[in-house]
Structure 1
Amino acid sequence: MGPFKIVERIGPVAYRLELANELHPFHDILHVSQLRKVVRNPVLIVSQPPEDLDSGLSTRGKPIQVTRFPDEKIRRKGVPMVEVVWERVGIREATKEHASMMRVEYPELFETQVDEHMADADSRTNSS
């Protein structure tokens, strides 16, 4: 997607872009603070915006595996987090998610991983 033609300079750090028709729901003004260095990887370049692209410019992948159960502390409280591997269009990415939310939305991910994690935790606490 892109590059896009700059139609107008709005200010010293903002520009109006000419977006393709399929991107009409998105704001056409770009602030330079939103630019990031791009390392071109041909696998990651898309010619069309994905059909499931939402207004926040994100897409929802499919979780395929829970890989770790890291211990997280948020605001001095222990919050159960899990590391989830997501896949979308052949690209895999891992993120940390709240364990309770993931268990409700994707219980099938926890059937084998939870058993293995609990066995590991039991072996650490019950070792004599």
Structure 2
Amino acid sequence: MKGVQQFGRRGKLAPRYVGLFRITERVGAVSYRLDLPASISSVHDVFHVSMLKKHLRDEEQQRVIDTSEIEIQTDLSTIEVPVCILAREDKRLRNKVIPLVKFQ
């Protein structure tokens, strides 16, 4: 779409949620203003309620990522660095061998 800024990649593998941000005020009946960090200041800070996801307080399901650790580029993309290799496998087709690597 023309004039729309997107986070990360486009298409099926695009990130669905960017991060956890505090709601500062209720702007309308169904819109909220969020407290966004300075690194993504080019994004408008008012969102419709359908674009927000409820934050889970359960310790098992809660994954808080410190936004100061994530470096967002000028085109609103991030660089992901793999931590470790979890599994390695070779998939054999008729004439090919495709190496599959699962990493964290």
Determine if the TM-score, normalized by the shorter chain, exceeds 0.5: no
Of structures 1 and 2, the larger Rg is shown by 1
Q: Which has the higher helix share?
A: 1
TM-score of Structure 1 vs Structure 2, range by shorter chain? 0.3 to 0.5
Q: Which has the higher strand share?
A: 1
Normalising by the residue count of structure 1, what TM-score does the alignment of the two structures yield? Answer: 0.37
